[in-house]
Amino acid sequence: MKKRIFSGMQPSGEAHLGNYLGALRRWVEMQDEFDCVWCIVDQHAITAGGDPKEIATNVLDLAISFLAVGLDPEKSIIFVQSDVPEHTELAWLFNAVTPVGDLERMTQFKDKSQRFESIPAGVLNYPILQAADILLYKADGVPVGEDQKQHLELTRDIARKFNTAYGETFPETEPLIAEHVGRIMGLDGKAKMSKSLDNTIPVLADPEAVWTKVRTAVTDPERIRRDDPGRPEVCNVYTLHKFFATDQAREGIEEQCRQGAVGCVDCKRLLSDSIVDAFAPFREKAAELHANPSRVLEILDDGAARASVLAQQTMVEVRERMGLDWRNMIQ
Ligand code: TYM
């Protein structure tokens, strides 16, 4: 039997380069080898409130990004979390086996909770819903970026605790984090690329918009004049070149940077052009899908129906183990 792979992404609009390199690119490759389930996690996106009017467009835009970069409904299940209510049911049940202390020590909780005077419980309980997403499908592996590692460790703990309390039910899911691309830095060069930090390069943006973003990228701070020798190893623009340039072209860029023979603006222009070229087929596919949203909805409906079958099987088992199929037990 093929291994089951699950992963999710929050709908905050079109996918960015961090999402693509850290996750989507690998998801596309995995489809041929594994039994894959890809989820747009809209219920995660509302843990701290948010504008209800934006959700629908964000879900549709992310679904279009998924399909444009090559996720294929013929090979994988692609669906929206809120279409399968078993996610929230299982999350509630996992509350019974999750220590509050484990939730409080999550780095993402510590970071996010600082933004609130009164912390919404959703911000604390977020990783329980994530564990439910994964374990509902009894996933063997979850391809994610480095930032999700701790949440996946907690998912394994929750599975273990559930199995101990109620009998062997869930696998201990493997986090699949790719070396080198686990943490793509943002244009500021300081923090990971993230929509909330406004330091991203959107994957499907038109050429002008990509250039507008890339030209703001922070480079080697010690390189002040154009002919100063640069240090590619500290420059995020150079790091990003590695994903788009051929080995030969990359060596050329490195050499010219060290000699001060290529200026940072020219180097950024080169990067912007490579990104625009690499993603041209995705932009084309996205334009087709934007013109035909009913096709996208059809794919998501079909995905939800297929995901529901799997989710319902797991929930029958879980309710039974937890004593919640009480009607059957009385008879
Ligand atoms: P999210 O929506 O923030 O990101 C989606 C995926 O993109 C990866 N990623 C990155 N990888 C490398 N460098 C970056 N700068 C970067 N930014 C984002 C993330 O690691 C992730 O793989 N909690 C999750 C969503 C989620 C989920 C799940 C994931 C909910 N349920 C179940 C896996 C399984 C999140 O907020 O990802």
| Domain segments of the chain as ranges | 4-184+293-330, 207-287
CA distances, 103 to each of 106, 161, 177 (Å)? 6, 14, 22
Q: Give the residue, out of 4, 7, 9, with the most ligand 1 atoms within 8 A of its beta carbon, to mutate for a pocket test.
A: 9
Residue 215 CA, ligand 1 centroid: distance in Å: 26
Choosing from 3, 149, 161, 192, the catalytic residue is: 192
Contact 130 CB / ligand 1 (< 6 Å): yes
pLDDT at 93: 98
For 207-287, CATH gives: 1.10.240.10
Write down the pLDDT at residue 135: 98
Cβ of residue 147 lying under 6 Å from some atom of ligand 1: yes
Verify whether ligand 1 is closer than 6 Å to residue 41 (CB atom): yes
The CATH number of the structural domain formed by 4-184+293-330 is 3.40.50.620
CB-count burial class (<10 Å; 0-12, 13-18, 19+) for 61: buried
pLDDT digits (tens, 9 = 90+) for 197-229: 999 999 899 999 999 999 999 999 999 888 899
Residue type at 260 in one-letter notation:
G
pLDDT for position 49: 81
pLDDT at 14: 79
Residue 290 has pLDDT above 90, yes or no: yes
Handedness of CA 327, 328, 329, 330 (dihedral sign): positive
Residue range 257-261: average pLDDT? 92
**With a 6 A CB cut-off, is 128 part of the ligand 1 pocket?**
no
Evaluate: CB of 184 within 6 angstroms of ligand 1: yes
Residue 329 confidence class, pLDDT cut points 50, 70, 90: confident
* Candidate from 7, 19, 21, 150 with most ligand 1 atoms within 8 A of CB, to mutate: 19
CB of 23 within 6 A of ligand 1: the answer is: yes
- pLDDT surpassing 90 at residue 19: yes
Predicted structure pTM score: 0.96
Q: Of 37, 123, 142, 147, which is best to mutate to test ligand 1, by the most ligand atoms within 8 angstroms of its C-beta?
A: 147
Distance in Å, CA 147 to ligand 1 centroid: 7
Mean pLDDT of 42-52: 89
Residue whose CA lies nearest to ligand 1 atom number 17: 18
Residue 260 region by backbone torsions, left for phi larger than 0, else alpha for psi between -120 and 50, else beta: left
Is it the case that residue 106 has pLDDT exceeding 80? yes
Mean pLDDT to the nearest integer, 47-76? 94
Q: 13 falls in which pLDDT band (50, 70, 90)?
A: confident
Gap between the Cα atoms of 190 and 170, Å rounded:
38
pLDDT at 182: 84
Per-residue confidence band for 48, with pLDDT thresholds at 50, 70 and 90: confident
9 Cβ below 6 A of ligand 1: yes
Q: Average the pLDDT over each of 86-90, 115-119, 156-160, 180-184 and give the range with the smallest value.
A: 180-184
Active site residue 192: yes
Mean pLDDT across 309-330: 96
Mean pLDDT value of segment 104-110 = 96
How many CB atoms neighbour CB 18 within 10 A? 24
Q: Whose CA is nearest to atom 5 of ligand 1?
A: 9
The neighbour count for residue 242, using CB atoms within 10 Å, is: 14
Residue 75 confidence (pLDDT): 98
Residue 112 annotated in active site = yes
- Of 195, 213, 242, 268, the active-site residue reads 195
